[in-house]
Amino acid sequence: VQLQASGGGLVQAGGSLRLSCAASGRTFSNYGMGWFRQAPGKEREFVAASSGGGGSTYYVDSVKGRFTISRDNAKNTVYLQMSSLKPEDTAVYYCAVAAITTAQIMTRSKNIDYWGKGTQVTVSS
């Protein structure tokens, strides 16, 4: 199983970025897919998740109203549309996959079955 994240980069505050994570090796339509991030000197934190089939989504409070998670099960891909970006959103973003039925369960790292390599997001002030 491989998770390949892309779409990171440097953006000014207030700007937007769209992250993508393509999964390969098996079908994840019934799995939860989501995103975590880790800023320098900080622990990895949950950002957003979508349950299998996209029936439910869940976000950390700090990104609600600014970030939107979506998925294309036909492409085995999860997306994170990030808008109104702030300098505090600067981090390495990791996609994650878990055998869960409710998106909220993905908030805990111990429930993650697969991790992707990160993609750097830098927001300048």
Q: What is the pLDDT of residue 54?
A: 64
Q: What is the pLDDT of residue 47?
A: 98
Q: What is the mean pLDDT of each run of 10 residues along the chain (125 residues)?
A: 95 98 91 96 96 86 98 94 98 95 89 95 97
For the chain, the residue count is 125
d(CA 58, CA 88): 20
Q: What is the pLDDT of residue 121?
A: 98
d(CA 57, CA 10): 27
